[in-house]
Structure 1
Amino acid sequence: MGTKTKFSRHHILMIAMILLSTVITLFLSTQKINYHLDELLTYSLSNGTDYINIKPGETYELYGKHQESFLTPSGETRFNYQNVWKNQAEDVHPPFYYTIFHTISSFMPGEFTKYIGISINIFFNALIILLLYKFSMLITNSRKAAYLTSLFWAVNPGIMSDMMFIRMYIMTMFFCLLISYVHVKFMKDVTPSNSRFFLSLFLVSLGGALTHYYFIVFTFFVCALFVFYLLYKKQIKHLLMYVGTYILTILAVLGIFPSVYDHIFGGESRGQESMENLMNMGDYLGSIQGFWRIISNTLFGGVLLIAVFAIGILLIMISLRKRKIVKTDHDRQSVLDRPSIWNIVYLLTTCSLYFLLIAKIAVYSAERYMQPIYPIIILTFTALLYHAIQYFSKRAPVFIVSAALVLISINGYVNTTNFEYLRLQSEEAIELAEKYSDKDSIVIFDRVWKIPASYVELSNYKTVTFYDKSKLNPLYQNTDYDEFVLYVHGEAAPIVKDIVNKLPQIISYKKLSSYAYTDVYYLQ
């Protein structure tokens, strides 16, 4: 009966954590007012046969509906996975996430909603919460430490911010955590028959590689260190099977999505840009500092350096103390045994190598490139913190660690996490578009791919007319509006003055806002 009670309490606690995380996510989703350009790319690459197709000089009524036709599937394009494959082959990402996204969208043709992407994030976030518990139990054998690890993730402000980003990064985090778990579990529980390990290795690696290419980068370090482990243990048979499994995985990935090779190594792809960054001896130290600051502010309330220093001091004190004392039944106990310490070293080493490489090759200094290692960072940080506190305070480690994690999270919510994916910085631009919703608008663009970034704002106007920035004569010849709202990509002031000079009905103008590649003016 006691076992059943513990079993049910455990499941209630895990469900409660998932529900808490989901409630926070849904609350934040109500505050999400706009979309990052890459989020709109998620919709178009999953569901559209084109990114956007506008004709310069043509006036569009109900522009929002026009653009949504490129963001949602229609009756003819529902469950069209061949189109998903084609879109991704022409883009720079593998297709697994987009396949899931398109499948959900296909059940709601013509429906554009943020909750399609957020629901995928919620699902994989729940899996991460469950897996973090199992992983923490594997390396600490402490339910309390495992619960704290999952809870810290479930309510972490940085993770909740990332849940608002409608891209494949939460899914990528799950696969990076899972491939790490598969390797560490083998190290802890190696048995003569390991068919389950190699099958898991194949399936997880296949799924992760088809989700994001940075999974491949992370897995490279996981595998490289694991090869050294097998060599050290002289497990040559396992090593040969391990290498053979990854050869099969590579062949399977290439067979399912042949464009992988070109995306990583060829053409003018992101892979090529990353290779160029690798060879560039620019401000590498500055990049490292920038990404460290991102992780600290996002996950740890800006105090990561202080926390790491404090944990380091405590661990050194523990090591020195253990050398001096004689082992008795009254010695202080630890949640980490020697193999577990080496497992944590293994995880931290893979994260560190990934961090150092990504800081060198990342196309942009953006948080998303570090997100794949976020679960491992949370896992190892909480395990080491709990270990250090428990050694010095056997009676109250849960309370002390909980208090520390609560303070970190509160500071993150209040001070350091910017929740950029809510797009709150676009609030003024949207309010102005709503204020002038009875007006006509003109968009002067320099790149077609920038146009959807103003999708929410442009959806408010009575009409929208587009003109190519390099070909403005049709605008001067055809525009007869007495007043209109003007959107200009890039430098706008000379164009606005030129319009005032060439359109006699326009005598004045004022700047309204700047957002998403665009300056906005009202002309009358």
Structure 2
Amino acid sequence: MNISDKKSRIFLAVVIVLSLALSTVFMMNKQGYHEDELLTYNLANSANTLKTDGEWNSGADFIDYLSVSDGDRFNYEQVYENQIIDASHPPFYYGLVHTVCSLFPNQFSRYFAFSINVLAMAGILIMLFKIVKRITKNNLYALIATGAFAFSIACTTMTIYLRMYATLTFFVLSMIYMNLKIFERKNTAKFTDFLILGLITLLGTLTQYYFILFEGLTGLIMLVFQIKERNIKDLIKYIITAVLGSAAALCIYPYIITNVLGGNRGFGSLSISIDPITVVTYFAYKIGTYIQVLAKDVFLNQIWLLALCSAALIGFWIYLRFVRKEKLSRTAFMAFVPSLVYFVAISLVSPFNSDRYIMASLPMLVTIFVLALIKFTRVTGKKWLTTAVPICLAVTCAIGYITVKPYYMYGVKTELYTPQTSKCVFV
């Protein structure tokens, strides 16, 4: 069962519009901010800081802290310097935020950074569709998988969180897609393919340091499969592209090395005792915490449902692999395995327990479960099950929005004081 390219593009456009409209509704009802969301605006726009010694910060102080002044519009040097001082993230995303904010000097609005997330999410959904289409060779399956993520709590949460993680996820999926495209060309990849891959490597590295881990994982698998397929010509070009892209990122922002190795978002954030009991306890605690996060974002906030689906997925894979003797295609392996390893690795090294650190893996994790469900219906040969899959996913997504509140919405209720005006920001 399939649909034409023309119909799939129309349906994909509808999915993207509806998904972003839904996220916009949640954004309109967002009543507060995570402190990092306000840091997004400060680090992108201003060298000013707030008074922290007990003095009063006026409204003007906050405007100076969060917005671009008339004299600092399109001042990317200041953006660059802010990231050096902060020493947590590279500057590209902040440059995007600064560009939007520079069009509206002396103003603060949640929609400035949100507009970047909207564009990134549109790109994410397009890339996800193209990736699944390359894996399955089926427009309908790609559309179902994309829709399942587009209408998940994970998608909305990523879109309304005013940080760099939607942009990071776009570059991660773009990296996966270009790897699949180059791999399938079998030594006939075009110069433009490697040029795009190099640009993705450069911008992804300059967006968030976790991109480096994903780049390494996808690159390692690409290396192994290209050697097995004897695609040595493309492999050499691929390695050169990766090296040049990474070198360009280091030339633009050489602080990447010190930040990754010693910063509070790199290896410097790790402080695990070598005591075996401590290591096991730490591993169980971190993985367990992120399983809860995954359950909320994708499985209706029900760990038992995630456990049930995971057990069914593993059991079905064992059946396919050892009974039906069906191996996972290399394109599927290249797309899914890095996301699984990334989820586990980031769960262990993240400085805080938060869904934002694993956001880049969520589209592919959702896709794994959706494609397994589709494969199950094909194995059974029951046509009514094929029709039931999108209906089941639609109902699940609807229940999710009814029963689960996306992260980063916050509220105005407080026991500390009674707000005297609606013109205030809650952090």
TM over 0.5: yes
Which secondary structure does the structure 2 equivalent of 1:421 belong to? coil
- CA distance in structure 2 between the partners assigned to 1:311 and 1:189 by the alignment: 31
Q: 1:294 to 1:269 in 2, by over 3 A?
A: closer
Change (3 A) 1:269 1:104: same
Contact map agreement 2:201 2:246 (CA 8 A) in 1:
no
Q: Secondary structure at the match of 1:311?
A: helix
> What is residue 369 of structure 1 aligned with on the other side?
357
Cross-structure match for 2:64: 69
Report the counterpart of residue 345 of structure 1 in structure 2.
333
Structure 2 partner of 1:489: none
Q: Deviations over 1:424-482 (max 9, x none)?
A: 2x433597122799xxxxxxxxxxxxxxxxx725xxxxxxxxxxxxxxxxxxxxxxxxx
Aligned CA distance change for structure 1 residues 58 and 128 (closer, same or farther; 3 Å): closer
Please give the secondary structure, in 2, of the residue aligned with 1:49: coil
* Matching residue's letter, 1:456: V
1:90 aligned residue (81, 85, 89): 85
Residue-by-residue CA offset, 1:402-436 (whole Å, 9 max, x unaligned): 13322432343233x44220112x43359712279
Residue 319 (structure 1) shift:
5.4
Matches within 5 A, 1:235-384: 235-266=231-262, 268-277=263-272, 281=279, 283-301=282-300, 302=302, 303-318=305-320, 322=324, 341-384=329-372
Structure 1 pair 68/8, CA: closer, same or farther in 2 (3 Å)? same
**Cα deviation, residue 181, structure 1:** 1.1
Q: Compute the displacement of 1:229 (Å).
A: 1.5
Matches within 5 A, 1:138-177: 138-177=134-173
- Contact 2:23–2:160, Cα closer than 8 Å, also in 1: yes
- Which one-letter code corresponds to 1:105 in the other structure? C
Structure 1 window deviating more from structure 2 (303-312 vs 72-81): it is: 303-312
Give the equivalent residue in structure 2 for 1:432.
Answer: 418
| Superimposed CA distance per residue, residues 201-253 of structure 1 (whole angstroms, 9 cap, x where no aligned partner) | 21111111111001111111111121122232333333333222222122100
1:334 aligned partner: none
Aligned 8 A contact 2:93 2:207 in 1: yes
Rg larger in structure: 1
What SS does the corresponding residue of 2:221 show, helix, strand or coil? helix
Q: Distance in 2 between matches of 1:103 and 1:117?
A: 10
Deviates more, 1:153-162 or 1:427-436: 427-436
- In the alignment, which residue of structure 2 is the partner of 1:9? 7
- 8 Å contact kept, 2:31–2:409: yes
Looking at secondary structure, tell me which structure has more helix per residue. 2
Q: Deviations over 1:263-291 (max 9, x none)?
A: 1123x543243343597835111211211
1:217 alignment partner, one of 213, 229, 247: 213
Amino acid at match of 1:123: L
Q: State the partner residue of 1:450.
A: none
Deviation of the 1:311 alpha carbon: 3.2
Report what 1:491 is aligned to.
none
1:459-513, Cα deviation, whole Å (9 max, x unpaired) = xxxxxxxxxxxxxxxxxxxxxxxxxxxxxxxxxxxxxxxxxxxxxxxxxxxxxxx
Among 382, 392, 412, the residue aligned to 2:400: 412
Name the amino acid aligned to 1:77.
D
Q: CA deviation at 1:7?
A: 5.2
Q: Residue 182 of structure 1 contacts residue 197 of structure 1 at CA under 8 Å; is this kept in 2?
A: yes
The CA distance in 2 between the partners of 1:55 and 1:205, in whole Å, is: 39
TM-score, length-scaled by structure 1: 0.74
Mark the runs of 5 or more structure 1 residues left unpaired by the alignment: 324-336, 438-454, 458-515, 517-524
Size of the aligned set, in residue pairs, is 417
Cα pair 2:377 2:383 within 8 Å, conserved: no
Whether the 8 Å CA contact 1:45–1:51 is kept in 2: the answer is no
On the 8 A contact 1:41/1:51 being kept in 2, the answer is: no
Q: Where does the alignment leave 5 or more consecutive residues of structure 2 unmatched? A: none
Q: 1:133 aligns with which of 102, 105, 129?
A: 129
Q: Helix, strand or coil for the counterpart of 2:160?
A: coil
**2:138 aligned with 1:117, yes or no?**
no
CA distance in 1, matches of 2:125, 2:273: 34
Residues 202 and 160 from structure 1, CA distance in 2 versus in 1: closer, same or farther, beyond 3 angstroms? Answer: same
TM-score under structure 2 length normalisation: 0.89
AA in 1 matched with 2:161: F
Query: Which structure has greater strand proportion?
Result: 1
Judge conservation of contact 2:46–2:67 (CA < 8 Å) in 1: yes
Match of 2:22 in 1: 24
Aligned: 1:178 with 2:178: no
Letter in 2 for 1:169: Y
Residues 11, 184 of structure 1: CA spacing in aligned structure 2 closer, same or farther, 3 A cutoff?
Answer: closer
Partner residue in 2 for 1:423 = 410
Deviation at 1:379, TM superposition (A): 2.4
Give RMSD over aligned pairs: 2.6
Correspondence 1:39 to 2:37: yes
| CA distance in structure 1 between the aligned counterparts of 2:233 and 2:157, rounded to whole angstroms | 45
Letter in 1 for 2:307: L
Change (3 A) 1:136 1:394: farther
Structure-1 separation of matches of 2:14 and 2:223: 39
